[in-house]
Structure 1
Amino acid sequence: MKKITIIFTIFIASLSTAQVAIGKTGITKLADGITPNPSISLEFYDSADNTRGIVVPWVSTVTNNPVSYNSVTKTGYRGMQGTVVDGTIIFDLSDKKMKYRKAGAWFDLTGSPTFPLIVKDASNNDVTFTAFNTIDSSLQDNKNEQENAKAAIGINGATDTTTGTLVLTDTDKAMVLPKVASPHVNIINPAPGMMVYDTTAKQLAVYNGTVWSFWKP
């Protein structure tokens, strides 16, 4: 688990800026080689040798209703205060799935593997899973975020009140995921909840602690 980038531990307090690059000197430039791409809010190291992804917050229990969590007892979204908004992405430890919030409900990004499950390892050998791997909960589980552990990136980041650990506030910019060629081969020790863009298959790739799932339009 050493070769991962956990963006949510990088920022402890609010960060108010228009564009942020992590692991590289700056945002990708336009064709002039000077102007940062105005469509990018947050971007990660993306050279061809990249073998790191981002790890989204782990959540012990997810419920569809209500979506507002107790700020006193800090139940629900592991201490997260306020309402979970559409566009939130989490890793649900209760069923080991990556999920995102859409239209007030959680949607699965991982799928439901049928066991026994046979996948290929880095050497193209068959690996058989009879159940989900046991997840080492020491990384995130049972740890509440500090109340000020929020990064708001964008033009109104200093005043943003949206609930979340990392919030991109711009309406005309987006996050560019870490780009990794064949992550299921090249990321040796992925952490549950990892997300990257597979430059080989040109797909979104997410890892649930046992297998990678790949998505494309």
Structure 2
Amino acid sequence: MKKITLIITVIVYGSFNAQVALGKTILESASSSVEFGNENRGLVLPWATSTSALQNVVNGTLVFDTSDMKVKVYQNNIWKDLSVDATGTADTSLQDSLTDHPDAKVSVGTPSSVSGILVLEDVNKAMILPKVASPHLNIISPAAGMMVYDTQKKQLAVFNGTVWSFWGE
């Protein structure tokens, strides 16, 4: 029920303002579509059974690929691995028997035909990831496919179900 309420709130709020704050009341940037609060929580990416099964993928797409337990980004028309370590784990039993609804979509900005679960469609705004100091120490139970910005290391941090990988300059 919480997820449905959140999705409805994002849709309604996004259609009026095209800026959404989750877990906070004040936006930190006028150039953001979505901003997250500063609790020790991260953004959990959608789980795909395999990136090869995804259709009509656009550059900038992020997923957690359960076939090899890696966080991946679609960049320059190829999938790039963001999980340095290949020992990821995830219990997919809850979703294995479910059927995807390909038309399900939440759009922030001007809706287009781009497919995805959450599509940020502004051409002049960006998403600000959840900010966590030392996520490997402070997020107690991270989920596979979690992504945050580590404020201590000043790097992108992704969790593959077993270990964190960090991406910086």
Check if 1:204 corresponds to 2:156: yes
Checking the alignment, whether the CA contact within 8 Å between 2:33 and 2:127 is kept in structure 1 is yes
- Counterpart position of 2:36: 44
Check if 1:89 corresponds to 2:85: no
TM-score of the aligned structures, taking structure 1 as reference length: 0.68
Checking the alignment, whether the CA contact within 8 Å between 1:14 and 1:150 is kept in structure 2 is no
CA apart distance, 1:61: 1.4
Please provide the CA RMSD for this pair.
2.5
Check if 1:58 corresponds to 2:31: no
Q: Alignment partner for residue 71 of structure 2, among 98, 123, 148? A: 98
Question: Larger helix proportion, structure 1 or 2?
Answer: 2
Shift in CA distance, 62/150, structure 1 to aligned 2, threshold 3 Å: same
CA apart distance, 1:146: 3.0
- Counterpart position of 1:19: 19
Larger Rg: 1
Amino acid of the structure 1 residue aligned with 2:65: D
Distance in 2 between residues matched to 1:7 and 1:196, nearest whole Å: 20
TM-score of the aligned structures, taking structure 2 as reference length: 0.86
Distance in 1 between residues matched to 2:99 and 2:93, nearest whole Å: 12
Task: Spell out, residue by residue over 1:67-87, the C-alpha distance to the aligned partner (whole angstroms, 9 max, x if none).
Answer: xxxxxxxxx24xxxx511111
Unaligned 5+ residue runs, structure 1?
Answer: 1-5, 29-36, 64-75, 114-131
Distance in 2 between residues matched to 1:202 and 1:94, nearest whole Å: 29
CA apart distance, 1:18: 1.1
Distance in 1 between residues matched to 2:10 and 2:25, nearest whole Å: 21
- Counterpart position of 1:110: 83
Q: Alignment identity in percent? A: 50
- Counterpart position of 1:136: 91
Checking the alignment, whether the CA contact within 8 Å between 2:89 and 2:144 is kept in structure 1 is no
Task: Spell out, residue by residue over 1:13-67, the C-alpha distance to the aligned partner (whole angstroms, 9 max, x if none).
Answer: 9823410011112312xxxxxxxx3211100002xxx11001000011122xxxx
Residues 18-27 or 133-142, more deviating: 133-142
Amino acid of the structure 2 residue aligned with 1:51: N
Distance in 2 between residues matched to 1:42 and 1:208, nearest whole Å: 23
- Counterpart position of 1:163: 115
Checking the alignment, whether the CA contact within 8 Å between 1:135 and 1:192 is kept in structure 2 is yes
Checking the alignment, whether the CA contact within 8 Å between 1:19 and 1:42 is kept in structure 2 is yes
What is the aligned length?
164
Distance in 2 between residues matched to 1:7 and 1:206, nearest whole Å: 23
SS at match of 1:11: helix
